[in-house]
Amino acid sequence: MVQVAINVEALRLNFQALCQLVGGGAKLMAVVKSDGYGHGMVECANVLQSAGCRCFGVSSIEAGEALRRHGITGRIIIFLGGDIARLAEIQEFELEIVLYDEQQLQDFCQSSSAVNEKIEIHLKVDCGMGRLGFAPAQTFRCCEQLQETGAFAIRGIMSHLPCADSDLAVTLAQNKTFAGAVELVKSSGAKPQAHIANSAALLADSALHWDLVRPGLALYGCYPSANPEQQRVALVPVMTASTIVIQVKDVPSGTGISYGLIQHTRRPSRLAVIEVGYSDGYARSLSGVGQVLVHGQRAPIIGRVCMGMVVVDVTDIIGVRRGDDVVLLGKQGDEAIHADEIAGWLDTISYEVLCMFGKNMKRSYVND
């Protein structure tokens, strides 16, 4: 059976390690958007809350509501903001809203009469990402408009870094731009928490920590960069993906394998058919390049990945039988396949691998 196992103890350990790195200088916001990067938003948030986390980041109001309904009592920040039609829900579930767009700002200010208790706002500024956010110079005016309504409290000012995993010089220059925006907000009389650090920035330089850090990927045990300087905290992978062997067969040299017969055996071979495919998030582009673990040894994929099956070469692995466990992501014996390695085969990033596996394979939770 194709499944992912989420190690909740590893999640706790990663949270504690990141808190220790940050020290007392900044608080930690656990980013659990996109269903907890495929690990399960509600389940992970509850584990992190039990470990001491008091602040969570998600994309949508619906996600914020789900967290509240499942016992999350800490702060919840909605990264994609909200619509004025959802003011009642924002207030009912005590959600903190990110504002990043002029029309969005005007809509909220004009609807202030419908606000019963102050809604907490985070202003987002674009310091070089080229995506969501006000221009830094606009922040003072934004604060004035929000404060004039009496309906909103400016709880935070935030931005996002496009290359904290690859270019520290550019990142620090953007942080300097952010510092100017923070000063403008403070000059309005507001006392916001400033936050700009994703996982890569958190691991790169303490100057990027400000008042609040926003790790996502690092919580789930993956490093955002191959740079050793950004791997100075021991993280434990949280997700393992596995399946089973459903047939073992011996074939002669020259046998074509799977759709299109794009690969042929080069010797008499023993093949194992395993139960997983692109309908499970195991991408077709892993055809002929991916590997899995069987009996703690690497077995290469041969031929095309199918909708629900993959063929691997187990010629050099002794004693493989139907029903044997196969690890797609994670550790078996002394060998391990990490999300970064799979991402390399796919020419993508580990974030995508975790989301694909976690959203398409049945999840279980373990406490190892």
Asked whether the predicted pLDDT for residue 156 surpasses 90, the reply is yes
Asked whether the predicted pLDDT for residue 22 surpasses 90, the reply is yes
pLDDT tens for residues 322-355? 999 999 999 999 999 999 999 999 999 999 999 9
| Rounded Cα–Cα distance for residues 134 and 125 (Å) | 5
Residue 228's pLDDT is 83
Asked whether the predicted pLDDT for residue 90 surpasses 90, the reply is yes
| Those residues with Cβ within 8 angstroms of residue 358's Cβ, 6 or more apart along the chain or in another chain | 4, 35, 36, 37, 38, 39, 40, 239, 281
Asked whether the predicted pLDDT for residue 166 surpasses 90, the reply is yes
Residue 226's pLDDT is 87
Mean local confidence (pLDDT), 91-101: 97
Mean local confidence (pLDDT), 185-196: 96
**Contact criterion met (CB below 8 Å) for 71 and 95:** no
pLDDT tens for residues 36-82? 999 999 999 999 999 999 999 999 999 999 999 999 999 999 999 98
Q: Which residues are catalytic?
A: 33, 259
Q: Which two tokens stand for residue 69?
A: 């309904």
Asked whether the predicted pLDDT for residue 368 surpasses 90, the reply is no
Percent of the chain residues past pLDDT 90, beyond the cut: 95
Residue 24's pLDDT is 83
Residue type, 195: H
Q: Which two tokens stand for residue 184?
A: 């403008």
Percent of the chain residues past pLDDT 70, beyond the cut: 100
Q: Coil, helix or strand for 280?
A: helix
Q: Of the candidates 2, 63, 44, 52, which has an alpha carbon nearest to the alpha carbon of residue 277?
A: 2
Asked whether the predicted pLDDT for residue 110 surpasses 90, the reply is yes
Q: Which two tokens stand for residue 67?
A: 């967290």
| Rounded Cα–Cα distance for residues 154 and 176 (Å) | 21
State phi, psi for 248 to the nearest 5 degrees: -120, 135
Count, in order, helices (H) and strands (E) of the chain.
Answer: 11, 20
| Rounded Cα–Cα distance for residues 119 and 292 (Å) | 49
User: Distances in Å between the alpha carbon of 315 and those of 244, 246, 258?
Assistant: 17, 16, 17
- Dihedral of alpha carbons 7, 8, 13, 14, sign: positive
Q: How far apart are the first and last CA of the chain?
A: 20
| Rounded Cα–Cα distance for residues 265 and 302 (Å) | 8
